[in-house]
Structure 1
């Protein structure tokens, strides 16, 4: 007896959820009870072979998912509250390399260093929608498919003060603080 299409899709999705941490080179999980406003849980999965890092931040309505595709040089964040995807270039001066990231995270965890990240980056989100996701890599294309996707551009702090709208933070544990700002990130 052959399974129905919805059963096949559910089985495939569940298989992906359970196999992803096993197939990744490193999977780092952190429970953060120190956040103002509640608990959050962040999981970082690193796959050196495909040069990708997947970060899942589970914090209720403020949850998000980020993929760093080092091979293509892009980062994409799916913000669940705004139901949008934001794509930008990886800044190699801010973001640790995929090969050194596991050690940087483990050092932070070992030292219990839960202070704000020393490295911060701010992106201004464009109003222009991205219609073709293929150039950004298969992982980003799959994550952003079916929802509005927007390009974001790095801004330096001094030129950023004119903006007074909405921002959200999508940082990796206590390593890098990533801020996305603009009207398109508002829920």
Structure 2
């Protein structure tokens, strides 16, 4: 999503785990009910897109050349307005934790998930994931990768072959 078309853009610069600078943006667009997160941290940059109209969440991890998509759990996922309030008021920024178990099943029709997800994941290996409550016991042979977005702490867990 082009930030020029966003209704609300929030920017944050902070220190990463390695002491380097991490630049993050959150673009909130009420016209199309989309929120995008962009984390610019060199080789470990990542993006996430929340498509509220289609109920799909996508995590784009370019340094792994993959996308992970999941259905949005509307019972536990903050609404667009709630998320915007959290971002704008810098409240509860560390309270949103999401963990996903990544299947080895490829998404066969990324375009069928809607244009925003297609634009984010086209040409990449895209896998389905299922959200689960934390804490989740990690099974042998499973690897987790953390993606720290401005308001979200995301764990993507899957088989060793994925990572």
Shared fold (TM-score, shorter chain, > 0.5): yes
Give RMSD over aligned pairs: 2.1
1:38-187 equivalences under 5 Å are 38-108=20-90, 117-157=94-134, 159-163=136-140, 165-173=142-150, 175-183=151-159, 185-186=162-163
Query: Mean Cα displacement is larger for which, 159-168 or 36-45?
Result: 159-168
Q: Secondary structure at the match of 2:42?
A: coil
Q: Map Cα deviations across residues 82-129 of structure 1 (whole Å, 9 max, x no partner).
A: 100110012234432112322211211xx7x77xx1231110111111
Q: Per the alignment, do residues 165 and 39 of structure 1 end up closer, same or farther by CA in structure 2, a change over 3 Å counting?
A: farther
Q: Secondary structure at the match of 2:80?
A: coil
Q: Secondary structure at the match of 2:120?
A: helix
Report runs of 4+ in structure 1 exceeding 4 Å deviation.
none
Output the CA distance in 1 between the equivalents of 2:98 and 2:125.
23
Q: Once the 2 structures are TM-superposed, how far is the Cα of residue 130 of structure 1 from its aligned partner?
A: 1.0
What TM-score does the superposition give when structure 2 sets the normalisation length?
Answer: 0.87
Q: Which has the higher helix share?
A: 1
Q: Per the alignment, do residues 158 and 98 of structure 1 end up closer, same or farther by CA in structure 2, a change over 3 Å counting?
A: closer
Rg comparison, structure with higher value:
1
From 21, 39, 42, the equivalent of 2:3 is 21
Q: Which has the higher strand share?
A: 2
